[in-house]
Amino acid sequence: MLAEAEVNQGDLTGWFNLGDCKACPRDDRCDEVPLRVPFGILGYDNWPTCPIKLLRGPHWQHVVHMYNAKSVSPLSGWPSAYAAWVVDGLCQLEAAFARKQAAEIKASRGRGGSHGR
């Protein structure tokens, strides 16, 4: 759920008008966000709070940091040296990025027509 939100942050801020945290009074409005979107956010209709707020949390930011580090160099002791939630988060994030990339490739093929045929 968070991995899908991470890779689709642009859609969250555009489609769902989330992420305008500067205008947010930082009260309980974040908890109301899922209730204001009747069809769910990214296919999930049971968000406990605003997805942008969750993405900024320290645990998820640790997963993102580890994902970035793993993209540069193999992680020492991977995966057995890491907590299960970190391993699961990284696997979910990698899968979400792969799904997004596959969808973008499929969409670009649809727009570009058939080359060389």
> For residue range 21-66, what is the model confidence (pLDDT) as tens digits?
666 655 556 666 655 565 677 777 777 777 888 888 999 999 999 9
Rounded to whole angstroms, the Cα distance separating 61 from 69 reads 12
pTM score, two decimals? 0.77
Please give the residue range of the domain that contains residue 48.
Answer: 2-112
Report yes or no on 43 lying in a domain: yes
Q: Is 117 inside any structural domain?
A: no
Give residues with Cβ within 8 angstroms of 112, minimum separation 6.
none
Residue 89: inside a domain, yes or no? yes
For residues 15-28, one letter each, b for 16 or more C-beta atoms within 10 angstroms of the residue's C-beta and e for the rest, the string is ebebbeeeeeeeee
Number of separate domains in the chain: 1
For 90, other C-beta atoms within 10 Å of its C-beta total 21
- Residue 105 falls inside a structural domain: yes
**Are 111 and 21 a contacting pair, CB within 8 Å?**
no
Distance, C-alpha 75 to centroid of its chain: 21
Q: Which residue has the higher pLDDT, 43 or 79?
A: 79
**85 falls within a domain:** yes
